[in-house]
Amino acid sequence: MPRTVHIIGAGLAGLSAAVRLATADHRVIVHEATAFAGGRCRSYHDASVGMTIDNGNHLLLSGNHAALEFLRTIGSEHRLIGPAAAEFPFLDLKSGAHWTLRFDDGRLPLWIFDPRRRVPGTRALDYISMARLLWPNPQKTVGETIACKGALYSGLIEPLLLAALNIDPPQGSARLAAAVIRETLAAGGRACRPLIARDGLAPTLIEPVLDYLRSRGAQIRLEHQLRTMRFESRRVAALDFGDENVALAEADAVILAVPPYAAASLVPGLTVPKEFRAIVNAHFRYAPSASQPPILGIINATTQWIFAFPGRLSVTVSAGDALLDTPREQLARTIWAEVAQAAALPAEAAADLPPWQIVRERRATFAATPEQDKRRPGARTAWRNLVLGGDWTNTGLPATIEGAIRSGNRAAALVSQMQP
């Protein structure tokens, strides 16, 4: 008889575990507390801008091998778009300087010797001194490992780490920064091509995975929140969903792929990260011109990245905690003025705030400090049929789609190896 695997949480960690397990050997049931799948990676219809938008702009890189394999499996890889080569245009809003980082495809970083392809005002030697970040003391912060100042820092290291770690880089874990740099810059341009879900996160990632799972007999139960688990003889014996109590057979397993605060309330004695950082996104219904790059990095402004989508310009501000209390319209106006300047919009467009929305995700990711990183548990638990998934488990990566999917794959592998 196939074993039943209950996956709690339909974020990317839970869904990727489900993809790995939805085979003849397992009966997969995904239980999701809310009315939608996708967790922190979702699309919704927004009445203010009058279109379907994502809760936040999500960037993948071509080196995110687990994420790309996931997309290939569910038949959705073609929905990601990006340039043919690893190119990142940047604009310094204060000085007006603009440049495009162009990495070499291979690992040999010849671009650092080419003033037209590296950060303006830097020398090749500056890049070599940053290599210290590749083999850091894992207990230290980025600020304790490298000098967080100068043109190379503000033109490359700061925007890269701010986006990947979602924390002001000097406070960030050097171990997590090293993992990011090893898998991106140090792996060469082939690993650094930026990729975005142009038509939205739901049509690219979530709807195809739900179709894939349903076609393989998996059940997706929305609005089905796990309230408590009953533990017995070092295993989970039953799941309590409030309106329904599910007893587990000896061979059955549970993958708990919920956020850390939810996991801590369900599993006794679990140590989890308890500090978070916000991400703020501003969406404007304004059709970008054909010359607007799909992704533009902005320096010396509130805006950090401008994404161009069909009919819409969207801005991401990572580690945006300082903006949580700013009145929404004030924030929209500040960011729109920066977007208008960066996109060189005509004066009347700049003065006229288009339909907008501000989405503030307070607990977008755990705070990627060395202290919080140490609190991340592995996938195994003290209970033999319970494993953990989620971007906050100890994946060795910051909280990203790639980390979430790797954690789901790992959880699925552990369940497959469990003795009935």
Q: Contact positions toward ligand FAD, by CB under 6 A?
A: 8-14, 31-34, 39-41, 55-56, 58-59, 225-226, 257-259, 262, 279, 281, 361, 364-365, 390-391, 399-402, 404
Nearer to ligand FAD, 8 or 415 (CB): 8
Q: What tokens does 333 get?
A: 């106006």
Contact of 304 with 316, CB cutoff 8 Å: yes
Q: Which is nearer to ligand FAD, 97 or 246 (CB)?
A: 246
Cα 420 to Cα 416: distance, rounded to the nearest angstrom: 10
Q: How far is the CB of 225 from ligand FAD (least distance, A)?
A: 4
| Residue with Cβ nearer ligand FAD (130 or 258) | 258
CA distance 74 to 207: 10
Nearer to ligand FAD, 111 or 307 (CB): 307
| Residue placing its CB nearer to ligand FAD in the complex, 31 or 175 | 31
Considering beta carbons, is residue 10 or 161 the nearer one to ligand FAD? Answer: 10
Closest separation in Å from C-beta 103 to ligand FAD:
19
Closer to ligand FAD by CB, 11 or 109: give it.
Answer: 11
CB of 296 to ligand FAD, least distance (A): 15
Minimum gap (Å) between residue 134 Cβ and ligand FAD = 21
Nearer to ligand FAD, 66 or 91 (CB): 66
Residues 385 and 251: their CA atoms lie apart, in Å, by 8
Q: C-beta of 226: minimal distance to ligand FAD in Å?
A: 4
User: What's the closest the beta carbon of residue 110 comes to ligand FAD, in angstroms?
Assistant: 28
Q: In this structure, what token pair is assigned to residue 389?
A: 């998934």
Centroid of chain to Cα 338: 25
For the beta carbon of residue 147, count every other beta carbon within 10 angstroms: 14
Smallest gap, in angstroms, from Cβ of residue 166 to ligand FAD? 7
Shortest separation between residue 124's beta carbon and ligand FAD, angstroms: 30
Whose Cβ is closer to ligand FAD: residue 345's or residue 399's? 399
Three-state DSSP string of the chain:
CCEEEEEECCCHHHHHHHHHHCCCCEEEEEECCCCCCCCCCCEEEECCCCEEEECCCCEEECCCHHHHHHHHHCCCHHHEECCCCCEEEEEECCCCCEEEEECCCCCCCHHHHCCCCCCCCCCHHHHHHHHHHHCCCCCCECCCCCCCCCHHHHHHHHHHHHHHHCCCHHHCEHHHHHHHHHHCHHHCHHHCCEEEECCCHHHHHHHHHHHHHHHCCCEEECCCCCCEEEEECCEEEEEECCCCEEECCCCCEEEECCCHHHHHHHCCCCCCCCCEEEEEEEEECCCCCCCCCCEEEEECCCCCEEEEECCEEEEEEECCHHHCCCCHHHHHHHHHHHHHHHCCCCHHHHHCCCCEEEEEEEEEEECCCHHHHHCCCCCECCCCCEEECCCCCCCCCCCCHHHHHHHHHHHHHHHHHCCC
Q: Which residue's CB is nearer to ligand FAD, number 264 or number 353? A: 264
Pairing assessment for the beta strands 305-309 and 312-318 based on DSSP bridges: antiparallel
φ/ψ of residue 38, rounded to 5? 115, -25
The residue among 33 and 251 lying less far from ligand FAD, judged by its C-beta, is 33
Considering the complex, what minimum distance in angstroms separates the CB of residue 149 from ligand FAD? 26
Smallest distance, ligand FAD to C-beta of residue 398, A: 8
- CB 196 to ligand FAD: min, Å: 9
